[in-house]
């Protein structure tokens, strides 16, 4: 019996998934204004489907550094395109938004390319390109020129640190202090580009941003944390995550309602960085769950608070993806750095005030499931310390 011809198509899936968003840019630019929204939705759905098929088949692009990330990190590949699809459904239908739609497809394509890079050096270069596009998109937005140039300088400094660090790690003779220096430079540089650590207030500064700028935390954090999760310097990634978590938590307490949506994304990205630094199966699963939540909720940040009127309250109270990612992250911390459990948990509580009116909006089922998950977490922690 002749073999099924599906494997013959597998090498084609990765090139299609990576190139489709850039092809979509040309199609959108040529579309009549009245059909731009429908075309953007359809094109983003096709791109998302191609990326999912590439992940399911563990596709590679032969003779290039592009492949589906290994293990649970493979789910990160279609997330930028998922955010693009959600953004196309919730976007403004005004024809004046055509340029923003075209640029958003380019940003998503760059994020997918950076996520698919198998080595840190090519990944750092690709992440740098995405970050510079975000900065330029912000700089040409009316009333946001200063924020755009701040992002430009910040991204450039991060790239100038990350690329030499990745080159040191790639050197065959890198060992000892040289390899350690490369890991530190790569972690700090990529973290700066993604808005981790002290860079978070600059990256998340815009209040009323157009779609490309509102999606910046999604498009940059996914490829950055994909590479940091496989890095050699986990302690630095943990530190960046904890610092980001607390910066966002304290900012949410005093921020106006219009900014809490983007700050909530920063809190979730900080938690994802903690999961990446903790490592292990639970850490990678928590990273995937948190970034999936960011991809789903990130496009809604420009319309207000993606997590409801209580900031990020469902992140703590809901049994859905963000809460599951939080639980998995704390489980991973039990084995990697138990001393960080308390500051991380307190940071999430500080950054998750209850919704207006005092209710948690989850009902008895949500509270029951959340209670079971917390009870299971307590059991895991007790067993891990024995």
Q: What is the pLDDT of residues 156-202, one digit of tens each?
A: 888 998 988 888 887 755 555 666 788 888 888 888 888 887 776 65
Is 296's pLDDT higher than 50? Answer: yes
Computed on alpha carbons and rounded to an integer, the radius of gyration of the chain in Å comes to 20
Which tokens sit at 328?
């998995």
DSSP per position, 155-182: HHHHHHHHHHHHHHHH-TT--THHHHHH
At 320 the pLDDT is 54
Q: In this predicted model, what pLDDT tens digit does every residue of 58-92 receive, in sequence order?
A: 888 888 889 899 888 899 999 999 988 988 887 65
Which tokens sit at 88?
């196309």
Q: What is the distance between the alpha carbons of residues 258 and 305, in angstroms, rounded to a whole number?
A: 7
Is 349's pLDDT higher than 50? Answer: yes
Q: Where are the domains of the chain?
A: 8-385
Give the confidence band of 213 by pLDDT, cuts at 50, 70, 90: low
At 231 the pLDDT is 76
Residue 13: HSE in the Cβ half-sphere, 13 Å Cα cutoff: 23
Q: What is the distance between the alpha carbons of residues 238 and 202, in angstroms, rounded to a whole number?
A: 20
At 48 the pLDDT is 93
Q: What does the pLDDT average to over 301-316? A: 47
Give the confidence band of 313 by pLDDT, cuts at 50, 70, 90: very low
Residue 198's contacts (CB-CB under 8 Å, 6 or more residues apart) are 243, 247
At 2 the pLDDT is 47
- Whole-prediction pTM: 0.83
Q: What does the pLDDT average to over 322-346? A: 84
């Amino acid at each position: 019996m002749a073999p099924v011809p599906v494997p013959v198509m597998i090498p084609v899936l990765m090139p299609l998934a990576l190139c489709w968003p850039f092809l979509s840019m040309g199609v959108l630019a040529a579309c009549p204004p009245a059909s731009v929204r429908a075309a953007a939705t359809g094109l983003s759905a096709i791109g998302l489907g191609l990326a999912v098929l590439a992940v399911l088949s563990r596709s590679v692009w032969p003779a290039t550094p592009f492949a589906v990330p290994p293990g649970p990190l493979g789910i990160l590949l279609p997330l930028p395109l998922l955010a693009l699809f959600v953004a196309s459904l919730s976007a403004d239908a005004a024809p004046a938004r055509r340029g923003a739609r075209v640029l958003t497809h380019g940003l998503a394509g760059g994020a997918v390319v950076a996520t698919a890079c198998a080595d840190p050096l090519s990944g750092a270069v690709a992440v740098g390109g995405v970050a510079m596009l975000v900065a330029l998109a912000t700089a040409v937005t009316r009333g946001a020129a200063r924020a755009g140039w701040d992002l430009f300088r910040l991204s450039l400094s991060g790239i100038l640190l990350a690329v030499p660090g990745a080159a040191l790690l790639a050197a065959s003779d890198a060992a000892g202090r040289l390899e350690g220096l490369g890991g530190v430079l790569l972690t700090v540089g990529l973290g700066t580009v993604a808005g981790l650590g002290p860079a978070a207030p600059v990256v998340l500064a815009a209040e009323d941003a157009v779609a490309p700028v509102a999606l910046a935390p999604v498009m940059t954090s996914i490829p950055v944390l994909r590479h940091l999760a496989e890095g050699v310097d986990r302690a630095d990634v943990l530190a960046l995550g904890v610092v980001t978590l607390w910066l966002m938590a304290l900012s949410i307490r005093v921020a106006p309602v219009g900014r809490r949506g983007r700050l909530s994304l920063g809190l979730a990205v900080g938690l994802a960085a903690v999961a990446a630094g903790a490592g292990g199966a639970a850490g990678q699963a928590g990273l995937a769950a948190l970034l999936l939540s960011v991809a789903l909720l990130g496009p809604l940040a420009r319309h207000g608070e993606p997590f409801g009127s209580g900031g990020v309250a469902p992140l703590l109270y809901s049994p859905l993806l963000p809460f599951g990612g939080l639980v998995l992250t704390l489980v991973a911390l039990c084995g990697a750095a138990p001393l960080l459990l308390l500051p991380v948990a307190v940071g999430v509580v500080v950054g998750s005030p209850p919704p207006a009116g005092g209710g948690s909006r989850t009902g008895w089922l949500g509270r029951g499931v959340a209670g079971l998950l917390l009870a299971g977490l307590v059991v895991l922690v007790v067993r891990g310390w024995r």
